[in-house]
Amino acid sequence: MKMMFTLGVSAMLSCVSLPLALQAQSGPTELSVEEATKRIDLAARQRMLIERMAKSVCFAETDVHVWDNELYMQGARVSFEIAHRGILEGDEKLGITGETDRNFRETWNDLDLTWRTLDRIYDKFVEGEDVTEQDMRNIMSLTETAHDHSDELVIQMRTNYAQFIGDNGFGNSILLDLYSKQKELLQELSKNVCLTAAGMDTDASLSNLNTNLSQFQASLDGFRSGMPNLGIPAPPTERITIQLDRTNDRWEEIRAYAETIAAGEQLEAQELSDLEFGIDQVLREVDRVVFLLVDHIRTNG
């Protein structure tokens, strides 16, 4: 298990015109603990939303929880766009100021170009037009590119902002990134479950699904006990420990279904529906883990 966790966390670790008022700088502006933590949390959530939109379209087009997934997709799309602009320009309602770091802005522009292309395809879905097989392939390809750009933004943030979030700033920023990564992994896993069940790029989807499963399980096990040799501390509070255990219990309820598909076998329609619903229940538990960690960092630094 330690070797699997090492591979999983190692993989996770490696992984519009700008407003004139924002002048280019080579480093981050000084931030409060609260804002630095909020910015990392928001950026990490963007990775999850990118995957959530793709998985929701896939399941809706596969006639699984169609109405729910249409709503999930539209909600994720709106949330992503608001945070996407806010992370760059600042947003009073989100409680964040604009970003001035030159490297960050360049990466943001790369993400924005990909997002605009992807969003035009999502227009078809939202407006009730037919989503073709080629549209689906384009969605999955662009999602992967957007995911990579978004991940790079998180890495830049956790590096730049570590100095602002307490004496253990570097460790806190890494832990927040990795805990949040679980949300993204769950949505990516759900997406690959759908693609595999739908028979789309089965070999690649199956391979990606198995990678998602091993990374999620190994990292969840590691977070519950800590892995000091990898610089991953045990949960910093008892409440987080309890919530991680609760997350694991939820995951165990549906794990066998996910492993069945990962083994190349098919699920009954109701089982597939239960799995998709169950993954979202696990997501809510992970969301609570991240909330508790953010609260701990803001309170204790």
Q: Which residues of the chain have pLDDT under 70?
A: 1-29, 166-170, 301
For residue 29, the model assigns a pLDDT of 67
> Distance between CA 136 and CA 142 in Å, rounded?
10
> Distance between CA 135 and CA 228 in Å, rounded?
44
Q: How far apart are the first and last CA of the chain?
A: 31
Q: 88 with 103: CB under 8 angstroms? A: no
3-class SS at 227?
strand
For residue 252, the model assigns a pLDDT of 97
> Distance between CA 267 and CA 1 in Å, rounded?
27
> Distance between CA 119 and CA 138 in Å, rounded?
11
> Distance between CA 98 and CA 130 in Å, rounded?
38
Structure tokens at 77: 């799309």
> Distance between CA 275 and CA 278 in Å, rounded?
5
For residue 254, the model assigns a pLDDT of 96
For residue 18, the model assigns a pLDDT of 35
Q: Where are the alpha helices (DSSP H) in 30-65?
A: 33-61
For residue 225, the model assigns a pLDDT of 86
> Distance between CA 45 and CA 80 in Å, rounded?
9
Name the residue type at position 205.
S
